[in-house]
């Protein structure tokens, strides 16, 4: 598309990886359709995007065993698509959540997906990544759903750069929204926004750090995956979330993006 011609150097665009998850099982899903359109547009700009959907993947419900918090593993991963999806998320620079609005809330499929990565709010696993939220509704409920999805990404350490809403009954053109999303993605690539902290992220970091770092907690590193992660990743020594992002950036430069 002409609006993207010569926007940035090809070498810059090639370094960007994107993953999308659409929490819809519908055969006529607007959320999935928008994800597919975005994937096509970004491919034209040499940006790799993979799209996973509830319709085409098996994501079992969380069974509440607590192993993700205690051991950093999920027994359900051996029975469905989540291990693959988790690994892909950890490899990318940008995470996009597409959700239809059901009964003024996220879809059941989206909630199931988020439950399965819920432990990441304790380990800030998405630090150094960008996030986008896309919601689709016939008429109402988007304000809460968009806020909720953004909040979850933030609590996982993700820098949310945009929210986009499509209201079917207002006869919005989804393609125009997708083009706006693609344009905004291209704008942030060269700015390295994923390595810039915000007031919200700093607050989340300080609050979460108090739960897992301290002289009285360090002794439990052997028994608690979450405490061990904070120390082994280097986050425990960071005084601010900006320091975490600087650490993440240096690891990525050496091809060891493991914070």
pLDDT by position in tens, the chain (length 259) = 333 333 333 334 347 899 999 999 998 899 999 999 999 999 999 999 999 999 999 999 999 999 999 999 999 999 999 999 999 999 999 999 999 999 999 999 999 999 999 999 999 999 999 999 999 998 889 999 999 999 999 999 999 999 999 987 666 788 899 999 999 998 887 666 778 899 999 999 999 999 999 999 989 988 899 999 999 999 999 999 999 999 988 877 655 454 3
Whether residue 222 sits in one domain with residue 186: no
Domain that holds residue 210: 199-250
Whether residue 39 sits in one domain with residue 105: yes
Residues 109-141: tens digit of each pLDDT:
999 999 999 999 999 999 999 999 999 998 889
Among 154, 174, 193, give the residue marking a domain's end.
193
Q: How many domains does the chain have?
A: 2
Over the chain, what is the mean pLDDT? 89
Whether residue 206 sits in one domain with residue 186: no
Among 153, 178, 193, give the residue marking a domain's end.
193
Do the domain assignments include residue 44? yes
Whether residue 240 sits in one domain with residue 127: no
pTM value is 0.90
Whether residue 89 sits in one domain with residue 75: yes
Do the domain assignments include residue 259? no
Whether residue 124 sits in one domain with residue 104: yes
Measured distance CA(212)–CA(122) in Å, rounded: 8
Whether residue 120 sits in one domain with residue 227: no
| CATH number of the domain within which 77 lies | 3.40.50.360
Do the domain assignments include residue 257? no
């Amino acid at each position: 598309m002409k609006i993207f011609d010569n926007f940035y150097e090809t070498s810059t665009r090639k370094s960007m990886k994107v993953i999308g998850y659409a929490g819809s099982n519908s055969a006529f899903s607007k959320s999935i359709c928008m994800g597919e359109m975005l994937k096509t547009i970004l491919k034209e700009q040499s940006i790799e995007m993979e799209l996973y959907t509830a319709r085409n993947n098996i994501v079992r419900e969380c069974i509440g065993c607590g192993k993700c918090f205690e051991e950093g593993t999920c027994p359900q991963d051996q029975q469905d698509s989540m291990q693959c999806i988790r690994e892909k998320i950890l490899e990318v620079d940008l995470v996009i959540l597409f959700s239809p609005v059901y009964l003024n809330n996220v879809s059941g499929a989206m909630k199931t997906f988020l439950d399965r990565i819920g432990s990441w709010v304790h380990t800030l696993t998405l630090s150094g990544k960008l996030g986008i939220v896309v919601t689709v509704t016939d008429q109402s409920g988007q304000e809460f759903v968009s806020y909720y999805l953004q909040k979850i990404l933030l609590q996982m350490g993700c820098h949310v750069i945009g929210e986009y809403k499509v209201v079917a009954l207002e006869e919005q053109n989804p393609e125009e929204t997708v083009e706006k999303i693609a344009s905004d993605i291209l704008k942030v690539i060269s700015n390295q926004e994923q390595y810039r902290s915000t007031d919200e992220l700093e607050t989340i970091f300080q609050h979460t750090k108090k739960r897992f770092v301290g002289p009285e907690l360090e002794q439990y590193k052997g028994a608690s995956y979450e405490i061990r992660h904070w120390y082994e990743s280097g986050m425990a020594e960071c005084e601010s979330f900006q320091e975490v992002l600087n650490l993440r950036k240096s690891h990525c430069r050496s091809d060891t993006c493991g914070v």
